[in-house]
């Protein structure tokens, strides 16, 4: 946590807000010792603009050793105001000093009706029904699914927990926005069952492969890549050619909460999951704000894109979204590709349900309503 970079001299004043920042590098520049340490404030910060300012401050801050030593010596004092009314929450940084961070719009489970993925999912349903009906064993997603469950009881394919274990290298758990967007196409898939497949088997295929392919389409949309059901992105995720981006919101929340000297986190004997959950809820109420314009990247392409044939193209209207290298496919029509639309994002919570509170053990990972926090609790006082 660092004070507002716009305040250089009187940064310990009570009205100065503090924000989360990453340590970037140690600069051994003897000619400019004031730039020895470099930090970058996180993009999710909600910067209050001062009078006459048109833009937030530059996110990179360079500080000298004396400043860093002073920051590390900051300790809670009796004079500082308690951040909440409960007796076990004492602020390491005065509650009035903590700034706010922005929460991306896709954390909300109420997406707009004209969301880009609505049309994409509708266009993907016909080829997806054909794929789930044919169930080709050579398809990378289906092949991975079959191999994982071949030695497991059939009822495991009905369990979302078991399916999440099948996807350790695949797409992360979907955001609240994506979950809401998938409800309608999944329901349509359920009503599109072919006579050759039993109802039980059809529901299993939808819950596993069908839902995963919808998530992969959302990732393709975000990366502005051709939309298809080939399973290209699935293989790229497993091979680390595509990776989930850092979740800055969870990182920022963790830094701000750990800047509080909460008694519940001091020692195992003080551990109380319900009490910590209340603290986190209060923190999110006062120090976070939803921003409809904030949509950070959730996936990044690291390696080159590899096309796998045949291409199971997704048509939008009467045209096919593809690139020139897709034209050899038997599925692609000889029509120009549609223009890229605004990107859609998926969230990267590390659990089955990013909105739920789960049983946790002190010293392990603790989940809030919007992200994960690593909580380290000493065994000794």
- Average pLDDT per 10 consecutive residues for the chain, totaling 381 residues: 84 83 78 80 90 83 83 52 37 61 86 88 94 94 93 85 82 88 95 94 94 95 92 91 91 86 81 86 88 90 80 61 37 36 36 39 36 37 42
SS3 readout for the chain: CEECCCCCCCCCCCCCCEECEEEEEECCCCCCHHHCEEEEECCCEECCCCCCCCCCCCCEEEECHHHHHHHHCCCCCCCCCCCCCCCCEEECCCCCCECEEEEEHHHCCCCCCCCHHHHHHHHHHHHHHHHHHHCCCCCHHHHHHHHHHCCCCHHHHHCHHHHHHHCCCCCCCCCHHHHHHHHHHHHHHHCCCCCCCCHHHHHHHHHHHHHHHHHHHHHHHHHCCCCECCCHHHHHHHCCCEEECCCHHHHHHHHHHHCEEEHHHCEHHHCCHHHHHHHHHHHHHHHEEEECCCCCCCEEECCCCCCCCCCCECEECCEECCCHHHCCCCCCCCCCCCCCCCCCCCCCCCCCCCCCCCCCCCCCEEECCCCEEECCCECCC
Give pLDDT, residue 300: 93
Task: Quick: pLDDT tens for 287-342.
Answer: 899 988 888 999 999 988 877 766 777 867 534 443 333 433 333 333 333 333 33
Give pLDDT, residue 27: 76
| pTM, rounded to two decimals | 0.72
Give pLDDT, residue 292: 85
Give pLDDT, residue 35: 78
Give pLDDT, residue 74: 62
């Amino acid at each position: 946590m660092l004070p507002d970079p716009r305040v250089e001299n009187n940064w310990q004043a009570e009205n100065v807000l503090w924000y989360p920042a990453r340590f970037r590098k140690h600069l051994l520049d003897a000619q400019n010792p004031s730039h020895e340490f470099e930090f970058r404030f996180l993009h999710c910060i909600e910067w209050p603009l001062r009078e006459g300012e048109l833009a937030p401050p530059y996110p990179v801050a360079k500080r000298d050793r004396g400043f860093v030593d002073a920051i590390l010596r900051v300790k809670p004092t009796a004079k500082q105001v308690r951040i909440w009314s409960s007796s076990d929450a004492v602020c390491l940084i005065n509650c009035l000093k903590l700034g706010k961070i922005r929460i991306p719009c896709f954390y909300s489970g109420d997406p707009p009706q004209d969301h880009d993925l609505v049309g994409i999912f509708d266009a993907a349903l016909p080829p997806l029904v054909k794929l789930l009906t044919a169930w080709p064993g050579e398809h990378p997603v289906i092949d991975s699914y079959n191999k994982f469950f071949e030695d497991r009881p059939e009822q495991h394919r009905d369990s979302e927990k078991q399916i999440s274990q099948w996807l350790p290298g695949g797409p992360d758990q979907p955001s609240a926005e994506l979950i809401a967007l998938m409800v309608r196409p999944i329901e349509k898939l359920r009503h599109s069952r072919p006579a050759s497949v039993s109802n039980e088997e059809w529901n299993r295929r939808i819950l596993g492969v069908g839902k995963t392919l919808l998530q992969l389409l959302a990732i393709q949309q975000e990366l502005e890549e051709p939309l298809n059901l080939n399973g290209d992105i699935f293989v790229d995720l497993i091979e680390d050619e595509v990776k989930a981006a850092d979740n800055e919101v969870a990182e920022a929340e963790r830094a701000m909460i750990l800047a509080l000297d909460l008694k519940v986190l001091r020692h195992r004997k003080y551990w109380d999951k319900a009490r910590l959950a209340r603290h986190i809820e209060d923190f999110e109420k006062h120090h976070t704000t939803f921003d409809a314009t904030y949509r950070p990247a959730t996936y990044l392409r690291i390696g080159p894109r590899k096309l796998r044939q045949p291409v199971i193209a997704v048509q939008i209207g009467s045209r096919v979204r593809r690139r020139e290298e897709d034209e050899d496919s038997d599925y692609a029509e000889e029509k120009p590709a549609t223009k890229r639309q605004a990107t859609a994002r998926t969230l990267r919570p590390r659990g089955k349900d990013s909105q739920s509170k789960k049983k946790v053990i002190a010293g392990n990972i603790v989940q809030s309503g919007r992200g994960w926090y690593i909580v380290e609790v000493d065994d000794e006082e």
